[in-house]
Amino acid sequence: MATSAEPTLLGPGDLSGPVEVVGRISDSSNLAVLARLVERDGAHVIYKPVHGERPLWDFPEGTLAGREVAAYLVSALGGWDLVPPTVLRDGPLGTGSVQLWVGDPFDPVADDRVVDLVPGRRVPTGWVGVLDGETAAGERVRLVHQRLPDVRSLAVLDAALNNSDRKGSHCLRDDEGRLWAIDHGVCFSPTPKLRTVLWGWAGEPLAEEDRTRLARLARRLARPATRAELGRLLPAGDVEALEARVRRLLARGRLPEPAPGWPTVPWPPL
């Protein structure tokens, strides 16, 4: 157990205080740790120390934790509120991102997938098809996601973030059915890299509520204080690119479509 400094980001103060490591999340590509906030009745968090980040060819080294926190900040600034509270702070393994865990890590909620694979080429009612494929055994399957307003809004947020790894497992619903989005370490690149399983509305007009969110975000990005806050988390060029993407989304008024020359669906998709 280690006593940490206060969070360095404008954000939820209740993610401060002593942190106790519970164990490592083994299937994460970077070091990710399940931890407990000692002074918050044992609330659980996912803690991603900077020193445990695997170097990537297309993102500056040591910046993934800051991107996780910046995604939370952008989601909150625009009014999406889809990313769980996340701060950049000190911890037992050094500085890293600390994000409130959705649900109980030892008692998972009933399966309520936002994204799924269905057999054949059928699309269940209330879902939308994304792409067709085959299993290792040669069975035909279709990748689908829920056709719901909150999932559509997440697709808009991902376009603003330039999320290059939106997998199905990164979309969660809590016990009350509220949608949450996690794993934003590879967002905000100034180079177009949108890679997602949420292509069901590609090219369609933006919903009015998402126009409102994008406009609100654009106004707040124009404020020096917001730019400074994001500048502590992201390279300057990434902040400028974020502003440009938001303006472009508003000007076009449509969700983006898959771009040629770039793998637009992550692997594995779930």
CA distance 20 to 38: 7
Does the pLDDT at position 116 exceed 80?
A: yes
Instruction: Give the tens place of pLDDT for each residue, 175-229.
Output: 889 999 999 999 999 999 999 999 999 999 999 999 999 999 999 999 999 999 9
Instruction: Give the tens place of pLDDT for each residue, 34-93.
Output: 999 988 777 899 999 999 998 888 899 999 999 999 999 999 999 999 999 999 999 999
Instruction: Give the tens place of pLDDT for each residue, 92-103.
Output: 999 999 999 988
Domain membership of residue 83 (yes or no) is yes
Q: Please tell me the least confidently modeled range out of 3-17, 140-154, 173-187.
A: 3-17
Domain membership of residue 260 (yes or no) is no
Domain membership of residue 258 (yes or no) is no
- Provide the domain count of the chain: 1
Backbone angles phi, psi at 156, to 5 degrees: -70, -45
For residue 1, what pLDDT is reported?
29
Domain membership of residue 265 (yes or no) is no
Q: Looking at this protein, which amino acid is placed at residue 193?
A: K
Q: Tokens 């988390």 identify what position?
A: 233
Region 11-27 average pLDDT: 78
- Residue 149: how many other CB atoms lie within 10 Å: 12
Degrees, nearest 5: CA angle 5-11-172? 110
Domain membership of residue 177 (yes or no) is yes
Instruction: Give 107-172 as a 3 state SS string.
Output: CCCCCCCCEEEEECCCCCCCEEEEEEEECCCCCEEEEEEECCHHHHHHHHHHHHHCCCCECHHHEE
Q: Please tell me the least confidently modeled range out of 15-29, 141-155, 238-252.
A: 15-29
Domain membership of residue 53 (yes or no) is yes
Q: Tokens 């973030």 identify what position?
A: 161
Terminal-residue alpha carbon distance, the chain: 34
Per the structure, the complete domain to which residue 51 belongs is given by: 13-111+145-252
Domain membership of residue 137 (yes or no) is no
Domain membership of residue 93 (yes or no) is yes
